[in-house]
Chains A and B, each alone.
Chain A
Amino acid sequence: MDLVDNLALGFSTALQWQNVLFCLLGVALGTAVGVLPGIGPTAAIAMLLPITFGFDDPTSALIMLAGIYYGAQYGGSTTAILLNLPGESSAAVTAIDGHRMALAGHAGTALAVAAIGSFVAGTVATVVLAVAAPPLSRAALSFGAAEYFSLVVLGLIASIALASGSTLKALGMIVLGILLGTVGQDLYTGAPRFTFGLRELYGGLNFVSLAVGLFGVAEILRNLHDPRTRQRIVRRVTNLWPSRADLRRIVGPVLRATGIGSALGVLPGGGHVLASYASYAVEKRISRHPERFGRGAIEGVAGPESANNAAAQTSFIPLLTLGLPAHPVMALMVGAFIIQGITPGPDVMNDQPALVWGLIASMWIGNVLLVLLNLPLIGLWVRMLTVPYSILFPTIVVFACIGTYSLGQNPYHVLAVAFFGVLGFVLVRSGCEPAPLLLGFVLGPLLEENLRRALLISRGDPSVFLTRPISAVLLVLALVALVVTALPAIRRKREVVFAEDE
């Protein structure tokens, strides 16, 4: 039985004591940063990414990053529930009922339910991932350059579909990201592009500088600029363990959400956000008391949190099998893979089984640690919420500087952080979201390489993208996604969907 062997290999890797330790450290750090108001998983990972560069063993580094991811996500939910300040769109759904529960004195129950739901969903989704990944990666090996190109196009277009705000600007951000990705020497001819005679630019822009600047520093600038009004902080967290009746009420939502999340997480482009909303909508629809939603319904916390976590798990599927990041966090993971000298894709699964299965197993272990660590430590995380921002942000700035500098002992990378920090700030204030830019930057080189390779093979005949069936289907899907997002009627409805529950 392949699956059992693979999982056994994974667990034997992930359960090595140092890997468990790194996973634990990652979860703790991720929660600590994710709990900070206004910092979502993407920003948290971007800030913590540099810490893992010093590791010799890529497996440990990636396991720690996966831990950071889960921790950050859970930390974000904690802030959403206690402070009504979701750091990322997927936690926004949790905030609706979670914060109401907290205000009503059930903060402990809301936090516990979120953790338990996430754990159950994560466990199931890990199995889904382990079952689905190998056949998919075998299928991916038959993909040629044309198929890859079309797949990247689909992924990029799909990522707009769920971005809030202007479709036009999101498209522009993607193109700008791809353009930034072309900086440096051309792959085929070695000709320098957009280097302006600067030797430092020949190697291209550094991914970490871009991510830390666009998300970490820009976020700080934004917070300093528009200090958020003091929210009602729920400091007292009591009655952690949910009652038997509460547990019975969340069984159904958690299981349904796990299914929804696992399926939607595989979609490129923000499937986890969609999963949270879909789960909330489903629970509200089938509930016998839909009027309780928005007033502190426990199902409204359990469902979206579970869906979110299941989707987080299965969004590793496109990353591990195709090398395609499904959302910005996965794009950061690709960056981490590449820094560790590994190109994610179908080959990784065959060449480095210990790494892939170790990573998959460590996700489950990360979920266990999350429950074990976070429930007892909730008091500590709540205290983190009260650390003044005037201490936090200089710390983040300096850590970001040291982390990026340590990457190659190259001060130029640090300068790039400043540049992208300002760029990110300007973009956000102009209503452009930086997330599509990051996806474009990561996927851009892949897009160009496969486009040119496909055209080389077809001797310059562009019809190759339409005559190969898989490629044609993917491009048609991309076109459909674009039309659906751009149509004003549907867009308005989409805005209503997002606005309805606020």
Chain B
Amino acid sequence: MGPGYVPLALGAVLAVLGVATVVKAYVAPDLAPEEVSTAVEDGRASDGGGAAEPEDAVRPLAGIKWRPLLFVMAGIVFFAYTVDGLGLLPASFGAGLLAALAGSRLPRALLVSAGLTVASYIIFVVLLQLRLSLVGDWLGG
């Protein structure tokens, strides 16, 4: 058996499971436990798009709020692309600022990210003594 044996087998299994999940979603969608009994009685177990979703039921992917998602992701990606060039401190500040913007307005986000840059300097550089370049080449560090 070569290097592709296990991935191929797993891929086949996953494909079967995927099809099964899709089929099941049409035939008998997952319901919250308290809904199971009533749904079966009403014969609406196959009605996938119930209007009133219960609190903990599976929510569809529709209706995603993009702002928090985009800003948090932007923060992490910003850190990844700038940490080598700008160094730890500016990258942390930028990442913190972008992430904070997911939930607050600019002045507050600036404050939060400044505070947490100081906090991460104390924790990672002073206390844990990680050897990271604080200010990178792009800024002449």
Contacts and interface: CB of A to CB of B under 8 A. Distances in A.
Nearest to A426: B61
A189 B33 contact: no
A256 interface: no
Interface string B3-44: 111110011011001101100100000100110100000000
Contact of B92 (A169, A194, A402): A402
A467 B115 CA distance: 63
B80 A176 contact: no
| Interface size band for B | 35 or more
A172 B17 contact: yes
Contacts of B60: 429
A193 B4 CA distance: 8
Interface string A149-165: 00000000000000001
B120 A398 contact: yes
Given A406-B130, A451-B6, A415 B80 contact: yes
A390 interface: yes
A394 B116 contact: yes
A397 B72 contact: yes
Interface string B87-118: 01001100111011011100011001101110
A194 B7 contact: yes
A499 B37 CA distance: 13
A451 B76 CA distance: 38
B112 to A, nearest CB: 5
A412 interface: yes
A448 interface: yes
25 contacts: A54-B128, A168-B17, A179-B14, A189-B2, A224-B69, A389-B103, A390-B104, A390-B108, A395-B96, A395-B116, A397-B72, A398-B79, A398-B92, A399-B120, A399-B123, A401-B75, A405-B79, A411-B80, A418-B73, A418-B77, A421-B76, A429-B59, A431-B30, A451-B6, A498-B33
What are the 4 A-B residue pairs with the smallest beta carbon separation, nearest first? A186-B3, A431-B58, A224-B68, A414-B80
Given A225-B64, A421-B72, A496-B33, 6 more contacts: A175-B14, A217-B76, A224-B103, A390-B112, A397-B72, A422-B73
Interface of A: 51, 54, 165-166, 168-169, 171-172, 175-176, 178-179, 182, 186, 188-189, 191, 193-194, 217, 220-221, 224-225, 389-391, 393-395, 397-403, 405-406, 409, 411-412, 414-415, 417-418, 421-422, 425-426, 429-431, 448, 451-452, 455, 460, 492, 495-496, 498-499
